[in-house]
Amino acid sequence: MIISMTGFGKSEGVYESKHYTIEVRSVNSRFCEISFRYPKNLTPKDFDLKDIVRQKLTRGKIFVSVSLNNNGDNKLNLSVNKDVVKEYLNILKNIRKTIGSKEKIKVEHLLHFSEVLSAEQSEEISDEEYQFVCDLLKEALEDICMMKMKEGDFLKKDISERLDIIENEVEDIFETGKSKLPMVRNKVMERISQFLEDKSILDEKRLELETIILLEKLDITEECVRLKSHIKYFRDCASSNEYAGRRLNFLIQEFNREINTIASKAMDAEISQKASYLKEEIEKIREQIQNIE
C-alpha cells in the first residue's frame, strides 16, 4: 500500500463553552516522530494522545496542535513569566545600546513578546472532556489519512509508469544481449586464437582465466531475470494492504544492484547507454519512495 508521508488534517468541536481546534501535519522522516502542542491541562495525557496518533500514522515527523478558545464561561488565570520579562528587558537594553538610542523602554514594548504572559486553565480536565478531545483527534487523523491516501495514489501512478518504462528497457537489454552473443563469442575465440598462435608465449592458466572472464560477460540473462522478479515483487508490495515504504526502499536498492552488474558485464555501448537511462528512472522512483509511509 502506498500512502504519502506528507499531509494535513483538521477537526473542530465545542464542549460546553469551550471551542477546540485540532490540526495534524506530517512531513517526511525515517521514523515516527510526534510533537504535541496543547493546553497545560492535557499534559498528563501526553503518552495516551501520542498512542492514538501511532495507531493511525506509522512514519513521518508529525506535528499535532490542540488549541482551546474559551467563550467566557471559564476564566483563564493570567500569570507573568518574571524570568522571561527580565531576559527580554536585558535584550531590549542591549539593542538600545547597540543602536545608540535614548528611547525609554516601556511596558508595551515587553507585551509584544507572547511569552511574557501565560494563560492556563486552573482546573483539571474531566474524563468526559478528555474523551471529547480524543474523538476530535481521531477525526483530525482520519482527515489527514484521507489526504495522505490521495497523495499516495498520485505517487503510485507515477511510480507504476516508471516501472513500465524500466520493464520495457530491461526487455530491450535482454534482447540486445542475446543478439550480441555471437559477436562476443567470436571475440573470445579470436582472443584464444591469438594465444594459440605462438606456443612459446602460451600460458594455459592465463588462457583459462581469460576465457572464464570473457565468457562471464557473454550472458546478462540472470541479471535481467532477477530484475524482472524484483519489479514484480515491487508491484505486489505496492498493492498490498501493508505499509510499503521501507520494503520498497530496500527493493529499489536491489534494482540498482542488478543494473550496475548489467552495465559492468556489458561489452556493448548500446546496453551501457540503456543501463544509464534505467539508473535515471530508478533514481526518480527512489526520490518518490522517500515520501511513502
Q: Distance (Å, rounded) from C-alpha 280 to C-alpha 63?
A: 34
Name the pLDDT band for 291 (thresholds 50, 70, 90). confident
293 within 8 A of 57, measured Cβ to Cβ: yes
For residues 149 and 6, give the distance between their C-alpha atoms in angstroms, rounded to a whole number. 10
Same domain, 205 and 160: yes
Q: State the pLDDT at residue 73.
A: 52
| Mean pLDDT for the stretch of residues 138-147 | 95
Q: In the prediction, which pLDDT does 138 show?
A: 96
Give 273's pLDDT tier (boundaries 50, 70, 90): confident
Residue 1: inside a domain, yes or no? no
Residue 11 sits in the same domain as residue 86: no
Q: Same structural domain for residues 172 and 266?
A: yes
pLDDT score, position 83: 84
Q: Is residue 2 part of a domain?
A: no
Does residue 190 have a pLDDT over 70?
yes
Sign of the torsion angle spanned by Cα atoms 52, 53, 57, 58: negative
pLDDT at 165: 92
Where among 149, 166, 200 does a domain terminate? Answer: 149
Domain boundary among 61, 89, 115: 115
Residue 205 pLDDT > 70, yes or no?
no
Amino acid letter, 279: K
Contacts of 172 (CB under 8 A, 6+ apart): 274
Q: How high is the pLDDT of residue 227? A: 92
15 grid coordinates: 464542549
73 or 148, which is more confident: 148
Q: Is the same domain home to 133 and 196?
A: no
> Do 57 and 170 lie in a common domain?
no
Residue 158 within a domain:
yes
Share of the chain above pLDDT 90, in %: 38
Q: Are residues 157 and 285 in the same domain?
A: yes
Is residue 44 domain-resident? yes
For residues 282 and 210, state if they share a domain: yes
65, 91, 115 - which closes a domain: 115
Residues 259 and 143 in one domain: no
Task: Kindly state whether residues 170 and 134 are assigned to the same domain.
Answer: no
Q: Grid coordinates standing for 209?
A: 582465466
Whether 280 maps to a domain, the answer reads yes
Number of domains in the chain: 3
Task: State residue 191's pLDDT score.
Answer: 67
Q: What is the CATH number of the domain that holds 63?
A: 3.30.230
Looking at the structure, do residues 16 and 61 belong to the same domain, yes or no?
yes
d(CA 142, CA 20): 17
Q: How confident is the model at residue 30 (pLDDT cuts 50, 70, 90)?
A: confident
- Do 59 and 130 lie in one domain? The reply is yes
Residue 210 lies in a domain: yes
Domain assignment present for residue 262? The answer is yes
Q: How does residue 164 score in pLDDT terms, banded at 50, 70 and 90? A: very high
Whole-prediction pTM: 0.65
**Is the pLDDT reported for residue 42 higher than 80?**
yes
Q: What is the pLDDT of residues 52-93, one digit of tens each?
A: 999 999 889 999 999 988 765 555 566 777 888 888 888 888
Residues in the chain: 293
Instruction: Say if residue 195 is in the same domain as residue 282.
Output: yes
E runs forming strands in the chain: 7-15, 18-27, 32-37, 60-70, 77-80, 117-120
Handedness of CA 26, 30, 31, 36 (dihedral sign): negative
Is the predicted pLDDT of residue 203 greater than 70, yes or no? no
pLDDT at 215: 62
Q: What average pLDDT score do residues 169-181 get?
A: 82
**What's residue 19's pLDDT?**
92
Burial class (CB in 10 A: 0-12, 13-18, 19+), 69: exposed
The answer to whether residue 232 scores a pLDDT higher than 60 is yes
What is the domain range of residue 168? Answer: 151-289
Q: In this structure, is residue 162 part of a structural domain?
A: yes
DSSP summary character for residue 244? -
